[in-house]
Amino acid sequence: MKRRRYAIIEFLLTAGAVFLQIHGRKTLRRRDGYDDPPAISATAVGAGTLYQLAFHWAYDRDCGQIRTNRYRGLAYGITAGAIRRWWFPSKEFVYSFNIGELGGMLLYRFWYGVLHPVPGERE
């Protein structure tokens, strides 16, 4: 039950982050001296969504012990960060990818956490 509570809290925090992202984007559009925010790429949003869905699926099932072994989790995080930094083509792609990550996390935590128990919760 403890992991499900954390999943629900993660869902609520992600929903708040999505709200702030939308509100911030609308606010910045109204300012006179601010350039338009980067265009949103559907490809990058889709890639970010799929990335988060895959990550949370693996994390909840503890694939490769990324949840229970701190060193493996840290190594995964460093590797994923390095790949993002070197492989992503532009700031617009990164911006859209991050939006997709929020969407993917929101979808996953709504399904596993709010509607259904978190996989592998029998600990």
Domains: count for the chain: 1
What does the pLDDT average to over 75-87? 86
Asked if the structure places residue 94 within a domain, the reply is: yes
Asked if the structure places residue 70 within a domain, the reply is: yes
More confident residue, 121 or 81: 81
Asked if the structure places residue 54 within a domain, the reply is: yes
Range of the domain at 93: 2-31+40-111
d(CA 70, CA 59): 12
User: What is the pLDDT at residue 121?
Assistant: 63
Asked if the structure places residue 14 within a domain, the reply is: yes
User: What is the pLDDT at residue 122?
Assistant: 64
Asked if the structure places residue 123 within a domain, the reply is: no
d(CA 122, CA 78): 29
Checking if the pLDDT of 123 tops 60, the result is no
d(CA 104, CA 14): 10
Asked if the structure places residue 101 within a domain, the reply is: yes
pTM for the whole thing? 0.81
Checking if the pLDDT of 64 tops 60, the result is yes
Tens-digit pLDDT profile for residues 13-60 = 999 998 998 888 788 777 766 677 778 889 989 999 999 999 999 988
Per-residue three-class SS string for 46-72: HHHHHHHHHHHHHHHCCHHHCCCCHHH
User: What is the pLDDT at residue 110?
Assistant: 93
